[in-house]
Structure 1
Amino acid sequence: MNATVALDVRAQLGECPKWSDEEQALFFVDIKGKALHRYKPGTGEHVAMTMPEEIGCYGFRKDGGFVAGFRSGIWLLDREGKPEKKLADNPEDQNTSRFNDGRVDPAGRFLAGTIDEPKAGGKAHLYRYDRRGLVPLAGGLLTSNGVAFSPDGRTLYHSDTPTFTVWRYSYDPATGEASDRTLFVRLTPTESDRGRPDGAAVDVEGCYWTALFEGGRVQRYAPDGSLIGEYPVPARCPTMVAFGGPERKTLFVTSARDSRPEDELATFPHSGSLFSMPVDVPGLPEYRFDPAV
């Protein structure tokens, strides 16, 4: 299976692809380009919704529209991507911190993590937002990434990209509590390969798929943490994966081109674009954010 260009958008920092079964559309963000994109593979329709600031992640809302993580905090957006209401401030120093990767949990809460942009202090966190407010679930991070859930919702996966690690937690969908943190995967960088786990998704067999930033590929891990598949992507910096299409058997992959060297972009001219490839095992549907939870 080979990934090919699905949408030659060449985003600065493409991220957070998510499939809407309702609209049969793939949504994704360009963080540096301050945009939320909607792409319908069936018709080729592509719309970019301009955002007021950097948007790191989002989830679909139960009543339509989105919940999103910006530099300033967690917001509700309407169906056209316009901000409606701020739910919570980013409690970190917004000069060096913004929300990054995130996903809605099985009960309708929003889990979103931050990035410590200087990559120096380990000041980033993974947070949970629900009607009780914003609560940290994990800290001491450099770049919170890779949030995904097992099919039964009782295992939470989460990566810290610059440390080459993916963690696994016991998760209680009834309370939103994460416990029993254990190491799921640790990658070992080499001089020629600094591929590290970025955004992720889980398939119906419970396998964890992660894009390797600066690794030019996507990996698939079994629930026991063993590597069972590896798939090249025509970009040095894939950023996140999502399952989509009518049966969710298309793997979409976002990528980055911002601040990449000229020789790399000459080798991978479609960096920043959206890629896709067929897969045999479908992915899980996205949960929807419920402000009442």
Structure 2
Amino acid sequence: MQTGFELVLDLKASLGECPLWSVAEQVLYFLDIKRCWIHRFDPESGGLKTIELPEEVGCIGLAAGGGFIAGLRSGLWLVGTNGTLLRKLADNPEDQASSRFNDGMVDPKGRFVAGTVDETREKGNAGLYRFDRNGLAQLADGLLTSNGVAFSPDGQRLYHADTLRYALYTYDYAPVTGTASNRRAFARFGSDTDKGRPDGGAVDVDGCYWTALFEGGRVQRYSADGILLAEYSVPAKCPTMVTFGGSDMRTLYCTSASVGRSADELAAFPLSGALFAMRADVAGLPKPLFNPEA
């Protein structure tokens, strides 16, 4: 394993997630889901601003014209830059007592693809959805924890993980219609001694997929053929998601979690919940902007 990520911000986040680089602003947005926060970090000045929402926020995408599309417990919302809920786009179609939106990403045509988490951790009631001007459409069901949404550089492959099943999949994706088909296993994880499982992910310009391994303490890079190319250590047991940023898109940011971790683990990994980064040998892809008329 290669030496990898270093500390950027020691936030002690409960459930840090969904780092998202704004090319226009040259800042990083990321979440603390359990505290209902969107953080805005300016690496040039070191400034950190926190935006509070009225519900847990599981994922965000930058919206054309400013603000965000956000996946909350109640559904998908347009959110202003100050955290104001501007307009509800779609209800969470599942039982909100045990379901909330989790990981999501804007697709190449400006739609939002996002999944939910089954908080019972056993019923498999979670799903993966696409939102566009025609409303919400289901792409996959029977999931436990939807994660890892990312797209290949040509937009014709969708990556998606079911974290609690230790499974990472790919689908054929049609950028024009937003349909996903031909789901197949991309990589599988976990053993009796290694509980690392795929959480959030990102794709680089070479078409390789990077995944943060929750309870695995590392980030892995896979070729488009599913071959493990490299892995990099993270100073936290539970990294949650990676994204590329910086002026050259070669800074790889990684969020992490501290919620629900044992006292022994937190003592061994005192930076749990921090934001980390490393310089990558390859650049990432700027994220498309959400367009409600897509």
Distance apart, 1:189 and its partner CA = 2.1
* Separation in 2, partners of 1:218, 1:131: 35
Give the AA of the match of 2:60: Y
Instruction: Letter of the 1:220 partner, please give it.
Output: R
Q: Share of identical aligned residues, percent?
A: 58
Which residue does 1:85 correspond to in 2?
87
| Alignment match, 1:174 | 176
Q: CA deviation at 1:82?
A: 1.4
TM-score by length of 1: 0.99
In 1, distance between residues paired with 2:290 and 2:112?
6
**1:23, distance to aligned residue in structure 2 (A):** 0.7
Cα-to-partner distance string for 1:205-241 (whole Å, 9 max, x where unaligned): 0000000000000000000000001000000000000
Residue type of the alignment partner of 1:210:
T
Partner of 1:189: 191
Partner of 1:34: 36
For residue 279 of structure 2, what is the aligned residue in structure 1?
278
Task: Tell me if 1:249 matches 2:240.
Answer: no
Task: Note the residue ranges of structure 1 that are not aligned, 5 or more in a row.
Answer: none
Matching residue of 1:202: 203
| Rounded Cα–Cα distance in structure 2 between residues aligned with 1:120 and 1:164 | 14
Once the two structures are superposed, the pairs formed by residues 52-201 of structure 1 within 5 Å of their partners are 52-190=54-192, 192-201=193-202
Alignment partners' CA distance in 1, 2:205 and 2:48: 28
Deviation of 1:8 (Å)? 1.1
Question: Does residue 22 of structure 2 align to residue 20 of structure 1?
Answer: yes
- Taking the aligned partners of 1:211 and 1:35, their CA distance within structure 2 comes to 21
In 2, the alpha carbon distance for the partners of 1:224 and 1:116 equals 30
Question: Which residue is equivalent to 2:217?
Answer: 216
Residue identity opposite 1:70 in structure 2? L
After superposition, residues 229-248 of structure 1 pair within 5 angstroms as: 229-248=230-249
Equivalent residue of 1:32, what SS? helix
Question: What does residue 292 of structure 2 align with?
Answer: 291
Partners of 1:268 and 1:38 lie apart in 2 by 25
Q: Output the CA distance in 2 between the equivalents of 1:216 and 1:189.
A: 15
CA shift digits 1:153-172 (9 cap, x unpaired): 00000000011111111101
State the Cα RMSD in Å: 0.7
Structure 1 runs of 4+ aligned residues shifted over 6 Å read: none
Query: Structure 2: where are the runs of 5+ without partners?
Result: none
Count, aligned residues? 292
- C-alpha distance after superposition, 1:122-179 (max 9, x if no partner): 1000000011111110010000000000000000000000111111111011000001
Report the Cα offset of residue 259 of structure 1.
Answer: 1.1
Please say if 1:51 is aligned against 2:50. no
Calculate the TM-score normalised by the size of structure 2: 0.98
